[in-house]
Every structure is written in C-alpha cells, then in structure tokens.
Amino acid sequence: MSTCFGNIRSVAKRELSGAVSSPVAYVFVVIFLLLSAFFTFMIGGFFERGQASLASFFGWHPWLYLFLVPAVGMRMWAEERRSGTIELLLTLPLTTWQAILGKFLAYLTIIAVALALTFPVWITVDYLGAPDHGIIAAGYAGSLLLGASYLSVASFTSALTRNQVVSFIIAVVICLFLILCGWPPVLDLLDRVFSPAAVDFVAAFSVMTHFESIRRGVLDLRDLLFFFSVIFFFLFATQAVLRARRAG
C-alpha cells in the first residue's frame, strides 16, 4: 500500500516538475487570477450587488474552467504519446491506475494553487462586510470539485489522441455539455417541450445544478457523490482508453 502511494507521489512529482518548468502552470494560474478578478469585479458587479458574498466570484468558475482546465490538462497523455515517453512510463513497475492518479493529482494541485491565490477576494469581502465564511469555504470546495471534474474529462480526451489541440477541443465540448444541460436558459427551453421529470433528469447530469447547491453552502451528499462519480467515470474511461490503445 505504501509503495502504491509512493508510486502515485513519484508520478505526481514528475508531472508537476514538468508543468512548473514549462510555462503551462504559470500561464494557467495567472490567466485564471486575471480573468476571475475581471469577471468578479467588472462584469459580475461585485460592488453593485451590495452583498457580503462571493456569488459573483464563484458564479464565473464553471465558464473560466471550461477553457482553462482542458488547456492545462490536454498535455497529460497526448504529450507522453507524442514524445514516446509513454513507453517508459508504462514499462515502469507501476499500475496504469497509479500513473493516471499521479498525473491527475499533479494538475489538480495546480488548480488548487490557482484557487488558493484568489484569497484576496475573500479578504476583500470580509473587509467590506460580514460574509458567511462557511458558505465561502463551501464555495471553494465546490470550485475545486468542479475543476477536478473537468480535469478528469481532460485526462480522458488527452488519452484519446496524441494531438493536444484535438484533445482540448473534445474536452471543451464535453465540459460544455456538462454545463449547458443544467444552465437555466437551456432548462427553460427544455421545460417548454418536455415534462418536468425529464427536465430534472437532464439537469441531474449538469455540474451547474450541483455546483450551485454546494456554493450556496448546502453540502448535500448527493452533490458530492455526483462530482466524485464524474471524476471516477472519466478516470476509469482514461484507463480503458489507455488499455485499448495498448492492445493495438
């Protein structure tokens, strides 16, 4: 068991060192911080709301992640395949799962760092008013789960192809589907055509509905279960793809 974690840790460490020595990690963190500040204060109307909450901050995360997470995750397997290092990685005494989890955790760390660096927003809102810190903490947790879900999608699409651009586009499309099937304008549209039960069924697949309820501070087991099952599903799909491509 300890070798299992050790293996995951070695892979994660390698992947992180690769990401840190290339511009990928920095570009992701900086762009994420710039855009999240821009959307929160300029477009989200943080001040105009007059509320001591980070609703305008977290509300943009599904859209920010939509492009940024697939961009940071697209090299995960595609790059290994292109450069041939996948042959090294998969002939080391590791299981495929350990490699997948190691890589996944490495990129999740980058997302977590970017998210942690948004702390000035929290300080700002605390300075200006008296926010509910529990809700904000829940918002951060929800945001990380959201990022992790997109990352698992990126892991899957990255394993599909050696071309990073193709991997990026497919990941964005899948993530967009996960957003749109619960976005109120789309749900309204569906509501006119289908029965409420059918609309609820579609909405249940959306990260939006689950993310919304977590960031309101409602930590429902079902929402957590949803995110974990999305992550597990796409990581499992990654493993299936790697296995299938191995078989030739």
Partner 1 sequence: MISVSDLRKNFGAKAAVDGVSFRVERGEILGFLGPNGAGKSTTMRIVTGFLPPTSGSVRVGDFDVEEQPVEAKRLVGYLPENAPCYSDMTVSGFLGFCGEARGLRGTRLKGAVGRAIATCFLEPVAHQSIDTLSKGYRHRTCLAQSILHDPPVLVLDEPTDGLDPNQKHEVRSLIRRMGRDKAIIFSTHILEEVEAVCTRAIIIDRGRIVANGTPGELKGRAGGAGAIVLRAADRGGAALRPFLDKLEGCSAVELLEEQPAVLRLRPKDASAASALAARVHETAVREKWKLVELRIEEGRLDDVFRSITLPDSAPGQKS
Nearest-approach distance from CB 88 to partner 1, in angstroms: 6
Rank residues 9 and 216 by Cβ distance to partner 1 and give the closer one.
9
Which of 237, 230, 232 shows the shortest CA–CA distance to 211? 230
Residue 84 or residue 196: which is nearer to partner 1 going by CB? 84
- In the complex with partner 1, which residue's Cβ is closer, 185 or 248? 248
C-beta neighbour count of 163 within 10 angstroms = 14
Number of Cβ atoms within 10 Å of the Cβ of 126? 13
Residue among 18 and 131 whose Cβ is closer to partner 1: 18
Residue found under tokens 């929160």? 40
Binding stretches for partner 1 (CB under 8 A): 3, 6-7, 10-11, 13-14, 17-18, 21-22, 83-85, 87-88, 90-95, 246-248
CB of 92 to partner 1, least distance (A): 5
Q: Give me the least distance between CB of 18 and partner 1, in Å please.
A: 5
Rounded Cα–Cα distance for residues 23 and 32 (Å)? 14
Please state the closest distance from residue 178 (CB atom) to partner 1, in A: 31
